[in-house]
Amino acid sequence: MNIGDGLRINARNRPNKVALREGDRSLTYGLLNQRVNRLANGLRSLNIEKGTIVAVILPSGREHLESLYALGKIGAIALPIDDRWGNGEVERTIRFFSASAAIFSDEKTETFLKLEQKIHRLRGHLICTGKVDNPEITSYELLVEGSSPLEPECSVDENDTFLIALSSGTTGILKGAVITHRNLIFRFITQIVEFGFNSSDIFLNVTPMHHGGGRSHCMCHLFVGGTLTVLGGRFDPARTLMAIEKERITTCFMVPTMYHRILQLPDLSRYDARSLRVLFSSGAPLHTSIRQGVMERVTPNFYDYYASVEGGGICLLKPQDMLRKGDSVGQAVFNTEIRIVDEEGREVPKGSVGEVMYKGPGTARKYYKNPKATRECFSDGWFLPGDLARMDDDGFLYIVGRKKDMIIRGGVNIYPAEIEEILQSHPAVYESAVIGIPDKEYGEEIAAFVVLKPGKEASQEEILQFCKENLAAYKRPKVLEFVPSLPKATSGKIMKRQLKENYLAANKK
């Protein structure tokens, strides 16, 4: 089975059911599958064939999903790229991954007209979803309208590559996990088993589809025959809650930053979220105050999903354990095996800190064109994400930090997540990030960056005293700075490397 088969089967079994709603646009499964087929056949007419790598640089919405399914049906390989990236970032990614075609929106037209002059393999393979007035570019809609609605005649195996999922930011060596059709379908199966996703669900998408979470959860709901509601544009907490209430949304995924913003709404109690059967968080640590706030003020049906681009879902913390198990990320999900190992790859005793490794049928096996990173992160079916964690006697996993973020102060290992959790328990703190900075005496010292809640005030002395009361002396920040915001990737993760670079640049001596 391949990704396109799921859509084809639902179009046959429930042709008149609404598959996707986006503003005033809606498509049934029958019409969605027809449009995908037309696009797939149109792409083949442009000599985009099995194995061709195609950049998809589109905002979240119908065209983004149609492009993924169409590419999947003809065996081409999707390379989803953040549509907010600048020209240099896009060019570097296109070159590194050897993309020879692109599907993009109006905003990227000039970018690709320039790229076409530099990268000749793109010529004749540029498709724009907006207005087209240049002969070098093909109109997406005209391509759809002028092509056959029949299923494309192309053999696509479950072990063929479906997409290259970007796993790093825009600095350093690019990493793209090779995700097969089989990998993604097994991720769907895990979500179906763990969350009970089914054809009666109405999923609200508010996260970017170029990212693993937004893309996977949308496609999973289309896989089971549910209805997908896309709320485009920038995230707005009030608009999101209004959509949940109006559309009677049953399932929704957001990142912790979004829940932060929802809990800041002064009139949160006026929104009716009782239709939510599953509300879940992923992409970054979910601090205790956020867990409690969402369960008390939004819905008790709240889950924390520990996942990765390379492996899909890894652990799930269910509502009944959300408060009982503190800051755990839950237990291993269906079809996934987890080990905690030391530097030599030996399993550590329960309760001891080590590096996480996991495997399952949804886990990728390599990075594209990056043998060094593949050797470092993949081993005999296992993936090592670089997270440090411990596991309790009940099999619940606790992430204590990133291996590369661990601070070694005077020979003692210090895990930033523990300090961040304490900082964010202060009533005036909105969010925080802790990094290690160079120190002549101890090798590294602790620096904390704090964002205060709107309308709240606190002094450095007050926050440092709070740390003194709640942390051992060697874990207390030596440097504490208030900042208006923290640098974040589009997935919602705090970019600690950028934070550290900024700090070091500002404090050069």
* CA–centroid distance for 506 within its chain: 31
- Amino acid at position 276, single letter: L
- Choosing from 126, 156, 186, the residue where a domain stops is 156
Q: Which of 113, 128, 156 is the last residue of a domain?
A: 156
pLDDT at 445: 93
Whether residue 192 lies inside any domain: the answer is no
Looking up residue 86, the CATH number of its domain turns out to be 3.40.50.980
φ/ψ of 357, rounded to 5, equals -140, 145
Specify if 187 maps to a domain: no
Classify the C-alpha dihedral 114-115-121-127 as positive or negative.
negative
Residue 173 has what pLDDT? 65
Whether 58 maps to a domain, the answer reads yes
Q: How far apart are CA 1 and CA 156, in angstroms?
A: 8
Domain-located, residue 201: no
Supply the pLDDT for residue 288. 83
**Could you tell me the residue range of the domain that residue 432 belongs to?**
406-506
First to last CA, the chain: 60
| Sheet with strand 53-57: strands edge to edge | 138-139, 126-128, 101-104, 53-57, 77-80, 161-166, 176-180
Please tell me the predicted confidence (pLDDT) of residue 172: 54
10-residue stretch averages of pLDDT, the chain, 509 residues long:
96 98 95 98 97 97 98 98 88 94 95 93 96 93 97 96 80 81 97 98 95 93 98 92 97 91 94 97 84 96 95 96 90 97 93 95 95 92 93 94 83 84 91 90 91 93 93 92 88 83 85
**430 located within any domain:** yes
The domain boundary, picked from 94, 124, 156, lies at 156
Domain contains 311 = no
How far is it, in rounded angstroms, from Cα 318 to Cα 302?
A: 7
Any idea what the CATH number is for the domain that residue 424 is in?
Answer: 3.30.300.30
Number of domains present in the structure of the chain = 2
| Distance of alpha carbon 34 from alpha carbon 328, whole angstroms | 44
38 neighbors 144 (Cβ within 8 angstroms): yes
Could you tell me if residue 270 is inside a domain? no
Residue 120 covered by a domain: yes
181 and 158 in contact (C-beta within 8 Å)?
A: yes
pLDDT at residue 169, rounded to an integer: 45
pLDDT for res 171 = 41
